[in-house]
């Protein structure tokens, strides 16, 4: 079946818009931390790891030995156990006793881990320390209208609130006199805008942009650091954002701004030829007269059809719509947009996912 192209146009201006500082920046030091562990899921109905997963058999033997039950891994024939990797995200300021979600994924030849129970599994950070302990029943997902599982023979699942935080990541934000904002996207103009806005708002030089992404902040004397950062995060700026074209190559979806213009260019792709020319109108003959720019004209020609746009700016949206009318495949449209970007005819960022 031929894939259909879904072309979406963002009709909101992408050049600048009002946005809160907390939505476009992070506070350095306030971050998530990834945790990982290795564990066993038990209670499976003969859908666990087989005898070929020797690491699972050895793990079972080691676990039983810790409970004073000695058994040779070669004597274990059970398929009710599966070895899994357990992952979780430790949020900032998580405290002892807090619960976090965990994800379990089979690493053996188990057919399904549905209905199993994860045994107590230490979750470690990149420094090798144990920050949480995970344990609980695995949830695979819901069922459809016929009562079938969404994931047949699922080898991955979740345990909501399945881990308890045992060790905290120490970060005393309250006692800090300075903080640093890191913009999610590097932009010199945005960094300067935030610096000037904060200095005007507090009527003192409390913010300094040190590069296109980093703004160093100094807490006012009459506020705590928590109050200060909460107030800073709620302030709004006019945010300058680079235009972007996002293409999902798998589904053929293209998301683009409505006003992304394409410069004059000539591209041939298969039986499709696209020619974009600058149109000028000659004035009446005078000593200092010059031609007037009337915008661009676009001509798209294929083997059986021709589409012509005589005047006005040529945009990515116009080109995509015209190519779709000609019956061009999503693969062809993506290839043409990539060629235009490489030729310098499109100045927006092109992101393929």
Find tokens 């807490």 and name the residue.
219
Q: Are strands 6-10 and 253-257 parallel, antiparallel or unpaired?
A: parallel
Amino acid 325: pLDDT: 77
Q: Are 84 and 118 in contact (CB under 8 A)?
A: yes
Q: Per-residue confidence of the chain (353 residues) as pLDDT tens digits?
A: 444 545 444 433 444 568 899 999 999 999 999 999 999 999 998 999 988 888 988 998 888 888 888 888 888 888 899 999 999 999 999 999 999 999 999 999 999 999 999 999 999 999 999 999 999 999 986 544 444 444 445 899 999 999 999 999 988 889 999 999 999 988 899 999 999 999 999 999 999 999 999 999 999 999 999 999 999 999 998 877 777 787 777 766 777 766 788 888 888 888 888 888 776 555 555 555 454 445 567 777 777 666 666 566 778 888 888 887 777 777 888 888 888 888 888 888 777 77
- Write down the H helix ranges in 156-286: 188-202, 225-234
Domains and CATH numbers, the chain: 15-29+172-240 (3.90.1150), 33-165 (no CATH), 244-352 (no CATH)
Helices (H), the chain: 21-24, 54-66, 188-202, 225-234, 316-325, 330-342
Residues 6+ apart with CB under 8 A from 22: 232, 233, 234
Residue 34 CB contacts under 8 Å (≥ 6 apart), including other chains: 87, 88, 89, 90, 125, 126
Axis crossing angle, helix 316-325 with helix 330-342, rounded to the nearest 10: 150
Name the burial class of residue 142, with classes exposed (0-12), middle (13-18) and buried (19+) by CB atoms within 10 angstroms of its CB: exposed
């Amino acid at each position: 079946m031929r894939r259909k192209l879904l072309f979406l146009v963002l009709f909101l201006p992408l050049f600048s818009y009002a946005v809160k500082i907390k939505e476009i920046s992070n506070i350095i030091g306030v971050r998530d931390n990834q945790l990982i562990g290795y564990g066993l899921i038990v209670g499976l109905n003969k859908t666990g790891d087989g005898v070929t997963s020797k690491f699972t058999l050895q793990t079972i033997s080691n676990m039983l030995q810790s409970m004073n039950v000695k058994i040779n891994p070669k004597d274990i024939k059970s398929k009710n156990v599966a070895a899994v990797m357990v992952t979780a995200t430790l949020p900032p300021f998580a405290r002892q006793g807090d619960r976090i979600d965990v994800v379990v994924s089979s690493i053996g030849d188990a057919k399904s881990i549905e209905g199993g129970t994860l045994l107590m599994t230490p979750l470690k950070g990149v420094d090798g320390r144990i920050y949480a302990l995970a344990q609980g029943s695995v949830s695979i997902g819901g069922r459809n209208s016929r009562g079938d599982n969404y994931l047949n023979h699922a080898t991955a699942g979740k345990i909501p609130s399945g881990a308890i935080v045992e060790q905290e990541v120490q970060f005393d934000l309250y006692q800090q006199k300075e903080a640093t904002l890191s913009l999610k996207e590097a932009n010199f103009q945005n960094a300067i805008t935030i610096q000037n806005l904060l200095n005007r708002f507090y009527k003192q030089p409390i913010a300094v942009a040190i590069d296109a992404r980093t703004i160093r902040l100094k807490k006012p004397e009459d506020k705590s650091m928590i109050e200060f950062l909460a107030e800073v995060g709620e302030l709004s700026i006019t945010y300058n954002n680079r235009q972007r074209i996002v293409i999902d190559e798998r589904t053929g979806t293209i998301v683009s701004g409505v006003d992304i213009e394409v410069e004059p260019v000539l591209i041939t792709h298969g039986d499709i030829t696209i020619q974009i020319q600058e149109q000028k109108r000659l004035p009446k003959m005078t000593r200092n007269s010059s031609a007037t720019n009337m915008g661009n004209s676009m001509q798209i020609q294929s083997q059986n059809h021709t589409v012509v746009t005589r005047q006005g700016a040529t945009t990515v949206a116009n080109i995509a719509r015209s190519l779709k009318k000609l019956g061009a495949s999503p693969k062809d449209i993506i290839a043409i947009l990539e060629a235009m970007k490489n030729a310098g005819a499109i100045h927006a960022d092109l992101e393929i996912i």
